[in-house]
Structure 1
Amino acid sequence: MERHLADGERVEAVAPLAGGWTSEIRRLTTTAGRGLVLRTFTDAFFLRHAEGLLTREANVLRLLAGTDIPAARLLGVDATAEHCAYPSLLMTLLPGSVRVTDEGAQTRAAVLAGQLARIHRLPVAAADRPRTYQPWTTPARVRRPERTGRPGLWEHAIAAIDREPPPHRALFLHRDFHPGNVLLDGDTVSGVVDWVETSWGPADLDVAHCATALALLHGPAAGLAFPGHYERAGGALSADAADRRYWRLLDALAYAPDAEKVATPWRTLGRTDLTPSLLQARLEDYLDGLLSR
């Protein structure tokens, strides 16, 4: 960090930032009044993948520096913990805050969709393209909840993704775009964070991931409505209904057998109503809504 501070500048305050669960995030304030963010991987699982994750995020932040995407500016990265106790990345602090309340959720969904469409329109040279997307589940890996009264629903959903991925036009994906990774200042997106999973793949997959998060956070109707917001914002999805359903089910089923872990950071932001039973009910109702369309 010291190599990226001005002469005489030093860190005078450190405060944890809530809202994430894969890494520790700290806000640093310097004697020059600058705000910085230090991202550190300390969990055993993520430590094994830290070099690839942080190297990818650093490359993406460099790529985004010359665009209109509101991303942090990279200051330094130590992906192998050569200088730090743990693998870490240093970047600038973005304004705004994460919003996860039900109040205003529909308006925010339209704002999120507009930002996601702008990300997908980003022109990326072949040499700068991130890795090809990786599915986060397969039919064989899906585990339905032990305490479900709807086993047939799960079987139907799993069967619907038991096929080859649909043909698609690949483009630049955030790959983990959801309300917890978007900062808002008023009704404007002031920052998009967490670029470690950035990939090259179908727009449907990014839209599906945000839709699942909205279904869990605000209810199934919010998730089902999000693709419409995206298309009204100028985004293009698969023309075939079965293909669109495939991508949405593929993402939703990755939360099986429960969606407990995704709600952990949301609870730290005040959403203590998101109990395991509520999340399972919302996930199953969302699956049912996708299969009914």
Structure 2
Amino acid sequence: MLTQTTTRVLDPGELGAALAILESEPVANAFVTSRVQAAGLDPWRLGGEMWGWYADGRLRSLCYSGANLVPICATPEAVRAFADRARRAGRRCSSIVGPAETTRQLWRLLEPSWGPARDVRPHQPLMVTEQPSPDVRPDPRVRRIGKAEMEVIMPACVSMFTEEVGVSPLAGDGGLLYQARVAELVAAGRSFARIDDGKVVFKAEIGAATSQACQIQGVWVDPEFRGQGLSETGMAAVLRYALADVAPVVSLYVNDFNTAARAAYRRVGFREVGAFMSVLF
């Protein structure tokens, strides 16, 4: 018998089925899982649509379609179905990001109609840890950022984003969406920095958080202070907060060409367990 397949936007009532798939890979899916746990499946609250691929009426794979296009636990057949839907809808996202092999398949199908990309990062090691290394002492000056310090932290966030992504987050809407996201993390107590004499010299955020895993993002050291080990001691401090207050597993992903950062993260206690891929528009 032939398997009957279909692809459609999930209904809000399918939250349980969606979470079962998302939580089957808690580290790789932390970003989308955290959004779904907070907002459910209503597209307006979620900030995008959750597409489902069904085989014989059973939900098997997902794809988040919002500011990012993110394939989730997607089989090769599901990837083809998601690519068809994305091609028909036209590109609305600023990036495609997800597990490397699945994202590579998706981009191969979309590139003829969506390309060229501004940048393709085909191998971004995914790193995790459940405990910090005893060899790196956490920087005692790294602390949570308070709401009153938004004007202090924001320039560092903009510098990090511009350096990492290659474009300023202030373009387009003047940075309103980006500033709202930074404020959201600050309000949640998930923004950390070392501030010396009113200047941010190290910062990082816990961007995605579930009860099973969380993800550190936006790691940045002021160029004037690089080469002094602040990324290691700063990350050790953020890692201590994350494991104590947020989740038992902490993850991050990093560009493969950033050998210094990869080495620093390994010294702090992270190990590589897989890879992501990002396509930036």
Per the normalisation by structure 2, the TM-score is 0.30
In proportion to residue count, which structure has more strand?
2
Which structure would you say has the larger RCO, counting Cα contacts within 8 Å and 6 or more residues apart? 2
